[in-house]
Chain A
Amino acid sequence: MTQTPELLVGLDAIERTDVLALGSALTLPPGAVLFRLGEEATNLYLIERGLIALTMPMQIAGHQEDVLIDERVAGQTVGWSTVIPPHRFTLNATAPVKTELIVFPREKLLSHFTTRPRVGYVVSQNVAVIVGQRLQVFQAMWLRQMQRMVNLTNA
């Protein structure tokens, strides 16, 4: 992870070091589950190396299959439901390859932000950027699919 992680953009070097010190390292072997849809979200994750696949269950030929929805790579964040109510994961997260992450417990983050409002503001803005991007991308994907349905209906 050479560039500044998306979660820490806008913080100075000392602030970044302080925030990173709140986390602990976690290494997932290939195929390991990071979190499951519906679980309580208590940790925010920063990917240091590897890949996290975000999936949702889909019914295919009478079976439930996890279908890829999104992929996150080094420098990106997963698990922002931890800092956004109702604090429930809405996707499954797995590591298709060996993946190293930094785990930030919600309580530690919030307590740190309480004493350092500027850091809390910048990190919250970064989370808003991540959520906003996901919203706009999926909004566009949904509309493209709707357009195909309209085209099929009028064909």
Chain B
Amino acid sequence: MEMFLSVLALSLVGVLVSAMLFAAALPRPHEIDTRRTSDDARVIQAGRFFVDDRRRDIPAAISPVPLEALLLQLERHVRLEQAAAESFHWSPTPEALHMRTVSPLVH
């Protein structure tokens, strides 16, 4: 009987110790949130790693478009630029040189 009680007591102590260790190993709820946020941030940072922030002003007109459409945009751009440059040629002033264009490749 004594031996049985001793084994039972030791078993209970073992279960308690195991339970405490298990509980200690589990992350607490606020720790999970923090870790997820930091993981998300890492993913976002990894996704933006090759993004050159200096290029954020590049107009949407240069974003991937069908080749034919891009060539038409380029043709229109060249014609508009040439018209602006020709007006500078006939009346050369700094204002004429930097006259604004309506080309979608610039805005």
Q: CA–CA, A67 to B75, complex, Å?
A: 7
Q: CA–CA, A68 to B101, complex, Å?
A: 18
Q: CA–CA, A9 to B89, complex, Å?
A: 20
Evaluate whether A65 and B67 lie within 8 angstroms (CB atoms) in the complex, with A136-B89, A140-B97, A153-B54 already known: yes
Q: CA–CA, A65 to B68, complex, Å?
A: 10
B76-94 vs A, CB cutoff 8 Å, 1 = contact: the mask equals: 0011011011101100000
A63-104 vs B, CB cutoff 8 Å, 1 = contact: the mask equals: 101011111000000000000000000000000000000000
Chain A, 85-126, CB within 8 A of any chain B CB = none
Whether B67 contacts A67 by the Cβ 8 Å rule is no
Q: CA–CA, A56 to B104, complex, Å?
A: 21
From B99, which residue of chain A is reached at the shortest CB distance? A144
Whether A140 contacts B57 by the Cβ 8 Å rule is no
Whether A137 contacts B86 by the Cβ 8 Å rule is yes
- What band does the interface of chain B fall in when counting residues whose beta carbon is under 8 Å from A? 20 to 34
Evaluate whether A68 and B78 lie within 8 angstroms (CB atoms) in the complex, with A140-B85, A141-B85 already known: yes
Q: Find chain A residues with CB under 8 A from B78 CB.
A: 67-70
A129 to chain B, nearest CB (A): 11
Contacting residue for B85 out of A60, A138, A155, CB 8 A: A138
Identify whether the interface residues of A are mostly helix, strand, loop, or mixed.
helix
Whether B70 contacts A60 by the Cβ 8 Å rule is yes
Q: Find chain A residues with CB under 8 A from B84 CB.
A: 140-141, 144
Q: Let me know if B74 is at the binding interface, CB within 8 A.
A: yes
A25-67 vs B, CB cutoff 8 Å, 1 = contact: the mask equals: 0000000000000000000000000000000001011010101
Q: Find chain A residues with CB under 8 A from B64 CB.
A: 61
Evaluate whether A140 and B74 lie within 8 angstroms (CB atoms) in the complex, with A61-B67, A65-B67, A147-B98 already known: no
Q: CA–CA, A137 to B98, complex, Å?
A: 13
A92 to chain B, nearest CB (A): 14
From B64, which residue of chain A is reached at the shortest CB distance? A61
Q: Let me know if A143 is at the binding interface, CB within 8 A.
A: yes
What would 16 A/B residue contacts be, using CB atoms closer than 8 Å? A61-B64, A65-B71, A67-B74, A68-B74, A68-B75, A136-B85, A137-B89, A140-B88, A140-B89, A140-B97, A141-B81, A141-B82, A144-B97, A145-B81, A147-B98, A155-B54
9 pairs of A and B residues whose beta carbons are closest in the complex: A140-B85, A137-B85, A140-B88, A68-B75, A141-B85, A136-B89, A141-B81, A155-B57, A68-B78
